[in-house]
Amino acid sequence: MYIFMDSGIRRAELVALTVNDVDLDLREIQVLGKGRRHRVVTIGRRAVVAVDRYLRDRVRQKWGDRPELWLADKNKGVLTHWGVREMLERRGRAVGIPNLHPSCPGGGRQAADA
């Protein structure tokens, strides 16, 4: 979640990240964007801490040897773009922002104002 917020990358770019795309020491991630062009984006300290903790826990998961960075909950394989959408909707509801989803302009703030 922190990478998504810090970097402004697209949902498809987030899902396509691999473990090797992340450099926590430099606080950078290599993103394959539109037009199959690579770019480097920086992430904040909180994101680095969260990803470092995630990677240490990830090795104990059933799918932990997969190259994809993000694993789905409950050992269901790798995270998909639908999984990201569900995660955002669930977290939005938890903090009182209904209908929060990745394609919502302004991150769903309009839905909260309605």
Q: How far apart are CA 90 and CA 61, in angstroms?
A: 22
pLDDT tens digit sequence for 100-114: 766 644 444 433 443
In our burial notation (b when 16+ CB lie closer than 10 A, e otherwise), range 34-49 reads: eeeeeeebebeeebbe
| Across 11-23, average pLDDT | 93
CB 111 within 8 A of CB 102: no
% of the chain beyond a pLDDT of 90 = 37
Compute the half-sphere exposure of residue 88: CA atoms within 13 Å on the CB side of its CA: 22
pLDDT tens digit sequence for 42-72: 999 999 999 999 999 998 888 889 999 988 8
What local confidence, expressed as pLDDT, does residue 35 receive?
87
